[in-house]
Structure 1
Amino acid sequence: MTGWIRVALVAAGLLTALSGAQAREPVDVALVLAVDVSRSMSPRELAIQREGYAAALNHPDVVRAISQGAYGRIAVTMFEWAGESSIAEVFDWTLVETGADADRLSAIVSSSKPVGLRRTSISGAIVHALKRLDEAPFDGFRKVVDISGDGPNNQGQPVLAAREEALAKRIVINGLPLMTSDGPGSGFNIQDLDVYYGECVIGGPGSFLVPVTSWDQFPEAIRRKLILEIGGLPAIDPAILPAQALPSQRLLTSSQPYDCLIGEKIWEQRQWMFDDR
């Protein structure tokens, strides 16, 4: 940098910002794992989810996908979410380059104790994920938010508004809709949750969703999803639905737009039945 450029940058107050940006370590992907722990999920479901993430994080195929990236490393953080103000961090931003790094994260998740919390705010989870990405000490070539959930948004700002905020920052949102019925809050579930996630939640270049219809599918689904997110590969697995092949486009015949406020409307109608969900 020549002297006169440095002087101009200092005068404009930009040099510190540039230096800070350059100090962030480059990684192939900065990945936020946002995990639903709303009370509509049973303790058994929470345990399967926790064990599935723990097994996926250090799976040899996942570690191999990390090593094959341009930088050979990713940065990942995880938090649990339910209502708009119900956020619990599982682990902070962590650099993963080796199997040993992945083993440490897996052990943290295995030892965590998720607790069911009230309401379901997908929009709140997205907003918190964006904050975590802003705070990341790593510079991800790709920035991805991975959201799991078993129901539609029923608290906080509309989910479409939060999604637009993410897309404006060129952040990709992928989804893991949990289309199961074991939990106590089935009164707030919707049968076409995969369509809801496709229409209202996921977005960005190469975005996709992996529907889970039974809990025995979960470990493989999250492993497959992590590999795709880390590698940035095209979605060729028929169980993985990319943005251009959403269920809504393949199955719905109605010309009416999907109602992305369905969760809020269900809550208004049924909150007296499930006031603690």
Structure 2
Amino acid sequence: MRWRVLVGAMLAAAVLASGGPRADAASAEKPELADTQVTPSVDVELIIAVDVSYSMDLDELAVQREGYAQAIVSKEFLQALRGGPNGKISIMYFEWSSSGDQKVIIPWRVIDGPETADAVGNEIMQTPVRRGARTSISGAILFAMPFFDQNPHRGLRRVIDISGDGPNNNGPAITPARDEALAKGIVINGLPIMIKEPSYSTMDIDNLDWYYEDCVIGGPGSFVVSIKDRENFKDAIRTKLLLEVAGHTPDHRVVPAAGKEPRVNCQIGERLWQDRWGR
């Protein structure tokens, strides 16, 4: 079931007022664990996959970094953390661009309070900003999946959090990669960045949020948080992490008609690249 959310004060307030995850949401999103005898020790295994392709300008990359670092140490995030059954999460953070360019910035870390949150936030900020060519959302998903089996801390949920400002234009097709993750019980959420006007030079598209909803995200309770202006960048990141840690889904529900075609062609990025470069 897919969800869409517009960032705003009402949504953030609703998350904070809830005081913790709903039992039904946590139950609905619980994946099949690699070892059914292992008792979950964290509330969520969360992989944050961050786009650093050249279509992102340096200011956007810096604000994105700051947004995640500040969200993790925020009082709202720590409040949501304490509200979980285990009161802690396992988190990993990596940056991606092309299908062969992914870099782990934060390997698996457990966040269980202010001290561990500060350590992760500081580590994110201390890593130099970098950029890479092309955009392979599918590559990011396929790169992320094996890390769940390497994580020593089992969670009630497994989530990949993908941010990006354009469609997949490199590597495997996006929908088979998404479906492979969903088959493993992994939920994919999206943070489409729609600050700039779409440009042919950077192969941006209109309605990137629709593309993420129909082609990228999936799994029980999956959702999209769209960023449409620079001022809301950090607020959107914090809202998204709050929802993921608390095990909530947005109030605005999108129910696609059975068998409905995606509103945006899931191969649009590859077609734009072919049209421009002929390969």
Normalised-by-shorter TM-score class: 0.7 to 0.9
Q: What are the equivalent positions in structure 2 for 1:59-208 lying under 5 Å apart? A: 59-181=74-196, 186-208=201-223
- Point out where structure 1 has 5 or more consecutive residues left out of the alignment: 1-16
Aligned to 1:42: 57
| Alpha carbons 1:41, 1:182 under 8 Å: kept | no
Identity score, percent: 42
- Point out where structure 2 has 5 or more consecutive residues left out of the alignment: 1-33
* TM-align CA RMSD: 2.4
Counterpart of 1:157, as a letter, is P
User: CA offsets per residue over residues 90-116 of structure 1, 9 Å max, x none?
Assistant: 111000101111011110111111211
Larger Rg: 1
RCO higher in structure (CA 8 A, sep ≥6): 2
Provide the C-alpha distance between the structure 1 equivalents of 2:210 and 2:69, rounded to a whole number of angstroms. Answer: 27
Instruction: Tell me the SS of whatever aligns to 1:210.
Output: strand
**Is residue 264 of structure 1 aligned with residue 264 of structure 2?**
no
Q: Sort the Cα spacing of 1:232 and 1:266 in 2 relative to 1 into closer, same or farther, 3 A.
A: same
Deviation, structure 1 residue 245: 5.3
| Alpha carbons 2:217, 2:223 under 8 Å: kept | yes
Provide the C-alpha distance between the structure 1 equivalents of 2:182 and 2:88, rounded to a whole number of angstroms. Answer: 24
Provide the C-alpha distance between the structure 2 equivalents of 1:122 and 1:256, rounded to a whole number of angstroms. Answer: 17
Aligned to 2:233: 218
Higher helix share goes to which structure?
A: 1
Q: Which moved more, 1:183-192 or 1:163-172?
A: 183-192
Instruction: Tell me the SS of whatever aligns to 2:41.
Output: strand
Counterpart of 2:221, as a letter, is G
Deviation, structure 1 residue 182: 7.6
| Alpha carbons 1:80, 1:88 under 8 Å: kept | yes
Provide the C-alpha distance between the structure 2 equivalents of 1:185 and 1:25, rounded to a whole number of angstroms. Answer: 46
| Alpha carbons 1:142, 1:171 under 8 Å: kept | yes
Deviation, structure 1 residue 129: 1.2
Q: What are the equivalent positions in structure 2 for 1:8-27 lying under 5 Å apart? A: 22=38, 26-27=41-42
Provide the C-alpha distance between the structure 2 equivalents of 1:115 and 1:183, rounded to a whole number of angstroms. Answer: 23
Counterpart of 1:261, as a letter, is Q
**Is residue 209 of structure 1 aligned with residue 221 of structure 2?**
no
Counterpart of 1:80, as a letter, is E
How many residue pairs were aligned? 244
